Structure 1
Amino acid sequence: MSEVLLLLLLLLALGPGASALPKPSGQRQTGPQRNKLLLVSFDGFRWDYDQDVETPELDMISVRGVKAKYITPPMLTMTSPSHFTTITGRWVEDHEVVHNMMFDQKTNLKVPHKETLRRTEWWDTGATPLWITAQNQGLKVGSFHFPGGGAHYSGQPIQRHVFETPGFPDDNETEWRENLDTVLDWFSVEDFDLVTLYFGEPDNVGHQRGPDTPERKDIVRQIDRALGHLRRGIDARNLTHNLNVIVTSDHGMTTVKKRPLVDEIILNKYLPLLKLASFEILDYGGFGILTPRPGREAEVLESLAKVPNITAYSKSQMPYSFHLGRSQRLPPVVIQADLGFNLNSRLIVYVNKGDHGYHSGEMDMKTIFRAFGPDFRQNVVSQPFDSVHIYPLMCRLLQLQPAPHNGSEEVTRALLVQETDGASRLVSSLLLLVSFLFFFV
């Protein structure tokens, strides 16, 4: 009698409906249980940007979906390294996109960020981004402006990619709405399964004006209006019940201290760069890299130790928590400025009023995570987590067998409707079983 009842209760707990998210497999599933996924990134959206601005759409997402208190980006808190961690689930030392600029220490090649986005050799490092994993398992995939989306991986392009228009302003609200409509049509008209969409704000405003300014508040309001346009577009195209949406970012932003000759760091005052270094990228905000000339690394590190408001690391002795030390691309010396201070090599050339690139543990570097759709719970606020865990969550939503990655599916499991409901159903059934056995035995 007890065995029969136990079997019935377990079947009830784990039977059809206990989870609409079956374990990932390598086969494309065309049944109604597979939902589509849109990943939207707003560059430089700090975790608290919605706290001093009226953002009804973001607030609605928090009620109708899930919200993390904040997300910790990887070291390095730069656009390309962080976005590639999100789309691969790999730490920067594993995916090797170690800077916004493509560079070569031997030739002193330095390719600007916008041009680097078109250079496959910078992105195709052996880490497999989600686009390729999804394509290889039968899904239809697109990328709109997303960093890394324009490269080929082992010779394979992403099925559809749109590059940013050169010279076009990143804050054009009309273009934003057109881009959102285009992406939603990919889902509704062309039956895409996965699309990644990137916006260059509020990063640009944060750099040019600073994060604590009226202009930053204005662009956050514009972002909120864009999310309203997205929500209405989803409803109009009947995608409400089969499209999951994740809204996130790559890093935060902090105010750069700009008192002349006090807060500026000019490294050549402390060590002769031309004499001691063969390669450098130092005029780039809060993060710098340097290749000492042969036999001069100890001298370089000793000189850098005397520079105020920075910490210099030998790559071989870098803290494990940075997940940078195993990188083959990073030069031997990495320089991290204290929050709000910026690096200059020989002259003060830095003009930004806000920046990132600082330690990912700083609260000003934290970023946002919101998600809504049929597979997400509602009105849930989760504890903070690292952005590396977004990748296995996306694989779970798309029912994909993931490529090797550094994230954990367990970190975000409780955000999903079926996972929580299934677990609750099992616990309730087991408690019922215990009560029954206690009563009859």
Structure 2
Amino acid sequence: KNWACDFCAVSYLSMKRLSSLLLLLILLKPFTCHPAGRNEKEMGSNKLLLVSFDGFRWNYDQDVDTPNMDLLVKQGVKAKYITPPFVTMTSPSHFTTITGRWIEDHGVIHNLMFNPETLRKFSHKATQNKTEWWDNGVLPLWITAQNQGKKTASFHYPGGGATYKGQSVDRTLVESFDHPDSNETEWRENIDMVMSWFTKENFDFVTLYYGEPDQVGHRKGPETEDRKIIIQQIDRTIGYLVEAIEKHNLKNKLNVIITSDHGMTTVKKKPEVQEILLSNYIKFSNLVKFDILDYGGFGMITPKVGKEEELYQALKNAHPHLKVYKKEEFPEHFHYAKHERVLPILVYGDPGYSVNGRFILYVNKGDHGFDNEDMDMKTIFRAFGPDFKENYLAEPFDSIHIYPLMCKLLGINPQPNNGSLEFTQKMLIDTSQPEPNILLTAIILSAIAAVLVLIFLSSVTYTAIQRKKGLKKDHRKAMKNPPSSSTML
């Protein structure tokens, strides 16, 4: 009876100690888990800012001191590079990013809006309010998000000034014709305004566009000190953006994607090379009805009636660095030529060879519009925020895959698109799995609990054995010294 009581007492004390230690571990758990705000909310509850720096080639930050971009590599995601769609121009590429569709699907096939019947052409900036150029049945992310309860805005982003199936972006600012591209003070003011949209007016999704380093790349060339200087300005602006996010208490609420539309390459000029001048090989007045030429490395031509074959034959072997195709024979991997707006004859030069028409008037020292597989046409991808992993290097991917990623971040159902989350999913924190520090905490707690249980069992077992030994000893002693008859009486 005494042994049983002692055993129960020991068990009770051991269990009490075990319970106390487990309670202590539970109370300590919040201090060993991940920082608040990092992953508590479901994907889609955070805001999103898409920033585009026009013409930012994939390696522009590799020969310049860029401390802020370098810091983002540690604090977020960097892709080795991304591949823009063909044709590598501003409006077509930006619209691919915001729709996730190839250019032949969304129909914004060039920077210029044109009509081969009326022979009219509109410049890049003149198209920004032209709904008839942008609205081809494909909804950009602004409208899709708005239709699912989100509030969106466009700050100078190409396509933001149009309406789509009668719907406008909730708020849009369109670049003026004389808008300065490189005013650093204005760049910061734009960031301040966007931050106020997020904090004071509760916008969910904003696109922000900057015209550099494209302009410097065109005017001065991509391999110049001027280009390096503008990259340093961009880096300072990114640093200012990070500070503004913290200042407005958006660090745990705002995801940011920084990308671009295309790269840039040095234009090859005589006497170093024989430039491409189509008038050396064809007589425009006899063969050409309408053309989009003298616009970098790519062009299109509408032949006069009955002249298509003659025009094609005259150009197809005209210059060793000129590619010439009929529309129906254009390489399918470009995902470009199937749209009805594409003209019957397509031409593009090898990297650096601009396609000139009647005269060589082109003065740019850098250009784009070339094959999107050329490394000089590749561009950047950076991302950071509460839903992105830190210090994560992603493999290269096509820019069409940014669209489904943004839909995932915003928690909305995407429109039909050519992209896939397969290429970007791994850069996101997996909310269905514990983060490494949470997993480590769970392992430690489990290990400690297991040790305590073993101690408890060992203690109980040891006590039981000792009590049993004590009883046997007492029994043997009693047998050796039996009580006297007088005592028994």
Normalising by structure 2, report the TM-score: 0.80
Partner of 2:296: 285
The Cα of 1:261 is off from its aligned counterpart by 8.6
State the number of aligned residues.
Answer: 403
Partner of residue 244 from structure 2, selected from 233, 243, 254:
233
SS at match of 2:258: strand
In the alignment, is the contact (CA less than 8 A) between 2:77 and 2:389 conserved in 1? yes
Q: Structure 1's 420 and 302: CA in aligned 2 closer, same or farther, altered over 3 A? A: farther
In structure 1, distance between residues paired with 2:420 and 2:91: 22
Q: CA deviation at 1:169?
A: 1.6
Q: Partner residue of 2:167?
A: 156
1:38·1:245 contact (CA, 8 Å) conserved in 2?
A: yes
Q: CA deviation at 1:166?
A: 3.1
Q: How far apart are residue 387 of structure 1 and its match?
A: 0.1
Determine if contact 1:19/1:418 at 8 Å carries over to the other structure.
no
Tell me how far apart the structure 2 counterparts of residues 18 and 131 of structure 1 sit (CA, whole Å). 25
Distance in 2 between residues matched to 1:415 and 1:204, nearest whole Å: 31
Give, in whole Å, the separation in 2 of the partners of 1:287 and 1:261.
21
Distance 1:313 1:422, change over 3 A: farther
Residue 325 of structure 1 aligns with which residue? Answer: 337
Distance 1:342 1:363 in 2: 17
Q: Does 1:272 align with 2:287?
A: no
Q: What SS does the corresponding residue of 1:348 show, helix, strand or coil?
A: coil
Worse-matched range after superposition: 256-265 or 123-132: 256-265
Q: How does 1:21-420 map to 2 (within 5 A)?
A: 21=42, 34-260=45-271, 262-308=273-319, 309-418=321-430
Q: Matches of 2:399 and 2:238 in 1, distance apart?
A: 21
> Normalization by structure 1: what TM-score?
0.88
Q: 2:82–2:378: 8 Å Cα contact kept in structure 1?
A: yes
Q: CA deviation at 1:356?
A: 0.2
Deviation at 1:105, TM superposition (A): 1.0
| Per-residue CA distance 1:26-52 (angstroms, 9 max, x = gap) | xxxxxxx60000000000000000000
Cα offset, 1:275, TM superposition? 1.0
Any gaps of 5 or more consecutive residues in structure 2? Answer: 1-37, 443-489
Q: How much does 1:351 deviate?
A: 0.2
SS in 1 for 2:309: helix
Q: Summarize deviations over 1:320-353 as a string: whole Å, max 9, x none.
A: 1010121111101111111001111111110000
Q: Secondary structure at the match of 2:424?
A: helix
Q: What's the counterpart of residue 484 of structure 2? A: none
Structure 1 residue 274: Cα displacement: 1.8
Kindly tell me: are residues 349 and 18 of structure 1, through their superposed partners in 2, closer, same or farther at Cα, counting changes over 3 Å?
closer
Cα distance between partner residues in 1 of 2:281 and 2:411: 54
**How much does 1:420 deviate?**
8.3
Describe the SS at the equivalent of 1:76: coil
Provide the aligned C-alpha RMSD in A. 2.0
The residue type paired with residue 94 of structure 2 is H
Offset of residue 260 of structure 1: 4.2
Change (3 A) 1:19 1:361: farther
How far, CA to CA, are the matches of 1:327 and 1:19 in structure 2?
Answer: 45
Distance 1:315 1:421 in 2: 49
Structure 1 or 2: larger helix share?
Answer: 2
CA displacement 1:123-158 (0-9 Å, x = unmatched): 001111000000000101000000000000011111
Runs of 4+ in structure 1 deviating by more than 2 angstroms, as ranges, are 17-22, 260-263, 419-425
Q: Where in structure 1 are there 5+ consecutive unaligned residues?
A: 1-16, 23-32, 430-441
State the partner residue of 1:3.
none
State the identity as a percent: 56
Look up the match of 1:432.
none
> How far apart in 2 are the matches of 1:176 and 1:99?
27
- Secondary structure at the residue paired with 2:383? strand
**Partner residue of 1:435?**
none
Deviation at 1:423, TM superposition (A): 10
- C-alpha deviation, 1:20, in angstroms: 5.1
Instruction: Give the distance between the partners of 1:148 and 1:123, measured in 2 at CA.
Output: 6
Q: CA, structure 1 residues 214+420, in 2 after alignment: closer, same or farther (shift >3 Å)?
A: farther
CA shift at 1:314, angstroms?
A: 1.1
Alpha-carbon distance in 2 for matches of 1:75, 1:19: 40
- Cα shift at 1:19: 8.8
1:396 partner letter: K
SS in 2 for 1:418: coil
Stretch deviating more after TM superposition (67-76 or 298-307):
298-307
Q: Which residue of 2 aligns with 1:7?
A: none
